[in-house]
Amino acid sequence: MVLEIFDTQLMEGITIWNVFFVGIIVFAGVIVGRIVRMVFNRRFAPNMPVHTVKTMNKILYYGIIIIFLIAATASQGIDIGGLVVGAGFMGIVIGFAAQSVVSNLISGIFLLIEKPVRQGETVELPDSNVTGKLIDISAFSSKIQQFDGTVIRIPNERMFTSNIRSFDMSEVRRSEVTVGIGYAEDIDKAIKTIKDSIMHNLVYSLMEPEPEFLVSELGDNSVNIQVRVWHPRDNLMEVKPMLLKIIKNALDDAGIEIPFPQRVVWEGKGSEK
């Protein structure tokens, strides 16, 4: 049926001159598309994300070629109605066969428009158990480089519909550690000791918001104190190890016990246990 439409409507009345003229116009469209793409890259691309620039380049280039093609066929009186009908018919067939592909393409467009995350940011997808650096958002999928160096490809549909945790949108971060002290120790003294040590030794700690200290649990072996420290985003990996070291040294110098689980075993003799 599609071939009959092409034969009766598309090919009727077409001469060699028509084809030649359409070819010239399309070639001109290619040149104009390249010029527009070059101007866009020079004037607007430096202030835009890399993945957005790639997508806009494709839209501008191929969009201009299609516009020139339509204008050329219309000027020569070529009826492309049959081509449109055939393309629509084939589009329906392909659409049913490739729903996931279309969904990924649309989701990729929405990711570029909404920009929940940007290329180069560290992100986490809790639903997919993926954490790493977003290195690319293409038409159908996104690529995340995990901390072990491997790169995982995520379909754009899953990327767009998942919960996304960004590590780079905020300029400050909060690190938390929990330290236990003995039940015989003075809680207020321990907190003051830790606070003074952090203020003098942890260069990354912010004064506003200031560190927080909470008694989080009366555990089996210790009174647990939760320490929360705010610091610049870029120092995330250095803060927690340094914080643990500072707390341990401060409590040792103050003579405050940091207990650990202990077990006492009695060996039974005869009927005694």
Contact 197, 249 (CB under 8 A): yes
For the stretch 105-136, pLDDT in tens is: 777 777 777 777 877 788 888 878 888 888 88
Helix (H) or strand (E) holding 30: helix 16-43
Collapsing DSSP to helix, strand or coil, 152 comes out as strand
Flag whether pLDDT at 224 surpasses 90.
yes
Model confidence band, residue 178 (pLDDT cutoffs 50, 70, 90) = very high
pTM over 0.75: no
C-alpha to C-alpha distances, 213 to 23, 111, 230, nearest whole angstrom: 74, 39, 12
In the chain, the domains with their CATH numbers are 2-97 (1.10.287), 117-166 (2.30.30.60), 172-253 (3.30.70.100)
DSSP state of 186: -
Per-residue pLDDT for 6 more than 50?
Answer: no
For residue 104, pLDDT beyond 60 = yes
pLDDT for residue 89 is more than 70: no
pLDDT recorded at residue 190: 92
pLDDT band for position 1 (cuts 50, 70, 90): very low
Sign of CA dihedral 120, 124, 127, 129: positive
CA distance 186 to 169: 40
Cβ-in-10-Å burial (0-12, 13-18, 19+) of 164 comes to middle
Pseudo-torsion of CA 150, 116, 105, 95, nearest 10°?
120
C-alpha of 26 from chain center:
39
Residue 259 has φ and ψ, to the nearest 5°, of -75, 165
Nearest alpha-carbon partner for 212 in 250, 169, 243: 243
**Mean pLDDT calculated for residue range 159-170:** 79
CA distances from 210 to 46, 133, 213 (A): 38, 29, 10
CA-CA distance, 254 to 259, in Å (whole number)?
Answer: 14
The predicted-structure confidence for 9-54, as pLDDT tens digits, reads as follows: 445 556 677 677 777 888 888 888 888 888 888 887 777 666 667 7
